[in-house]
Structure 1
Amino acid sequence: MSKESFHQIVADVTTQIAGRPLNDELDRWLNTVHGPGSESYQRLKEACIDGVAEGWLCDREGGGIKYGRVFRPEAALAGFSVDVVDMQDIQGPHHTHPNGEIDLIMPLEGDATFDGRPAGWCVYPPGSAHHPTVASGRALVLYLLPEGQIQFTK
């Protein structure tokens, strides 16, 4: 899996959600159209697993979390940045989402959940905040951030 191929797989989803409000309706739509069991979910999960194995995804580590920004926001990704984290039974640093956040939860071991949610998509609206938490196993989580905006709490 090359970064270029991964970019196209992500762009296939981001172009479909361009300009849509980050809300419960988008959450439901993503889980219906691109949720677990769909071809797009499987492609994204396999691409992330391959990218981690090849060393170009989650190429940094801090506080027990492997992470990395894969792509900065750009027009081809509908203005989203793309980050992927590898977390196992851990709570990450508190942060806010000025423009919202869209997460793809991909359990790898156990019955891993992200913020209490199983495999699938989780949409946080603009202005929301959380301690990202993976429990009951290990998961990869792909983050789409409008304009790449995230603010870590000091």
Structure 2
Amino acid sequence: MTPDQFQALIAKVTGEIAGRPVDAQLADFLNERFPANGADFQAIFAACKDAVAAGWMCEREHGGIKFGRVIKPTDALHGFSVDVVEMADVVGPQHAHPNGEIDMIMPLEGDAKFDGHGAGWFVYGPGSVHKPTVMGGRAYVLYLLPQGAIEFTRP
């Protein structure tokens, strides 16, 4: 798996969601169009595993969280950036989503849930704030951020 191949996989998703409001209905659409047990979701999940093993994804670590921006906002992904984190029974740093955040949750071990949600898609709308939390195991979480916008805040 190369970064270019990974971007091509993600472009399938961003092509389907470009221009849609970043809201709960988007999560419903993604869970229907790209279900956790579906071929596209599983291909992205496998690509994340391969990329982490190859050392170009989740290459940094802080506070027990492996992370990294995989793709900066680009027209090829309709203005979305892509970040991937690996978390296990940990609470991450509080941050805000000026334009929203689209999360692809990929449990690796146990009954891992991201902010209470299992395998699949979850969406935070524009202006939302949270402390990303994985409990019950270990998971990858892929974040699509419109225009790459994220603001780390103090609780």
TM-score by length of 1: 0.99
Q: Supply the distance in 1 between the matched residues of 2:95 and 2:24 (Cα, whole angstroms).
A: 20
Amino acid at match of 1:23: D
2:98 aligns to what? 98
**Superposition deviation, residue 36 in structure 1:** 1.0
User: For 2:134, what is the secondary structure of its paired residue?
Assistant: strand
User: For 1:40, what is the secondary structure of its paired residue?
Assistant: helix
1:42-91 C-alpha deviation (Å, 9 max, x unpaired): 01100001100110000001111000001100110010000000000000
Amino acid at match of 2:43: R
1:97-120 C-alpha deviation (Å, 9 max, x unpaired): 000000000000000000000000
1:16 aligns to what? 16
**Superposition deviation, residue 35 in structure 1:** 1.6
Q: Which runs of 5+ in 2 are unaligned?
A: none
How many residues align? The count is 154
User: For 1:123, what is the secondary structure of its paired residue?
Assistant: strand
User: For 1:108, what is the secondary structure of its paired residue?
Assistant: strand
1:115-148 C-alpha deviation (Å, 9 max, x unpaired): 0000000011000010000000000000000000
User: For 1:73, what is the secondary structure of its paired residue?
Assistant: coil
Q: Supply the distance in 2 between the matched residues of 1:75 and 1:15 (Cα, whole angstroms).
A: 11
Sequence identity of aligned pairs in percent?
58
Amino acid at match of 1:75: D
Amino acid at match of 1:138: R
Q: Supply the distance in 2 between the matched residues of 1:35 and 1:120 (Cα, whole angstroms).
A: 6
1:3 aligns to what? 3
2:65 aligns to what? 65
2:114 aligns to what? 114
Q: Supply the distance in 2 between the matched residues of 1:87 and 1:24 (Cα, whole angstroms).
A: 24
The answer to whether residue 129 in structure 2 is matched with residue 129 in structure 1 is yes
1:56 aligns to what? 56
2:46 aligns to what? 46
Amino acid at match of 2:89: D
User: For 1:19, what is the secondary structure of its paired residue?
Assistant: coil
